[in-house]
Chains A and B, each alone.
Chain A
């Protein structure tokens, strides 16, 4: 084993959840196509996939959509407030609902942003979360 690049990119919770659900779906299709004999997957993989889905289902990632996530990231990254990449990532993962929750994710929030700007950021996040939730219920 050789480690070529320890950290090539960071993934959001949503991307991980989507990837694992995609693998699960592929395995299910395979079983339907070729019979249950091909369904034998390594036990450690089954365990970790189940546990990751269990965990991520309790987070904001469940209700997210690819378009919604991209839109939110673009809006936050484009904003003149100059958020760090990891701050945008954490906002996407947590979707903070109030100022206290946002303050935890952003370093020195109060000195960097005015009260109006904080409200604006929270609004952006809230509208992204809402549009995703709406679509979820209309689809379901």
Chain B
């Protein structure tokens, strides 16, 4: 579920941070730049893991900022295809089930990836799995649910021209990193069932 990614970046320390130890100042800068942010085609960066190398600080002309080349590793959330994860059901729609982890919300289980014989109950707004034995099992909201990661999708959300932005509907803004999961094997689905 989590991986280590090695990056290098130019980190700027402003004079206001000169009282802090260099190491701490670098850590803070790296964390404020990457923590809880999606890196395109890499995954959701969680936080700094360790610093491997750093160059001497160079002061650029015009400002008092110190620039340091740093090589470091980040903890990144990037489940592999086929991985099994436990999350909570956020809500259900006729198209499928939205699942969230505390730190990551963009997980969707489309209706075609649910157990065979699953139907959507419009009154209760919940998916129901009618098993072969005639039992009815409910995908209730906030239940812990186990699913398998099937697809991942990265969207490059480069900023749009402000003049054009108004014409874009909110629906056009896709999450930068999205997972699609499935629930059609015994053992998957609501944890309490098994």
Contact = CB atoms under 8 A, between A and B. Distances in A.
Contacts of A104: 84, 146, 148, 185-188
Contact of A10 (B3, B102, B194): B3
Contacts of A51: 102-103
A42 B31 contact: yes
Contacts of B80: 86
Given A19-B49, A100-B187, A8 B102 contact: no
Interface residues of B, number: 42
Contact of B4 (A11, A93, A103): A11
Contacts of A45: 31-32, 35-36, 47
B5 A6 contact: yes
Contacts of A7: 3-5, 78
Contacts, number: 112
A131 interface: no
Interface stretch (A52-60, A70-78, A116-124): A52-60
The DSSP consensus for interface residues of chain B is: strand
B59 interface: no
B20 interface: yes
B2 A2 contact: no
A91 to B, nearest CB: 10
Nearest to B187: A104
A62 to B, nearest CB: 13
B84 A23 contact: no
A8 B103 contact: no
Contacts of A2: 7-9
Given A11-B4, A42-B32, 9 more contacts: A1-B8, A10-B2, A44-B32, A44-B35, A44-B36, A45-B32, A52-B103, A58-B86, A104-B146
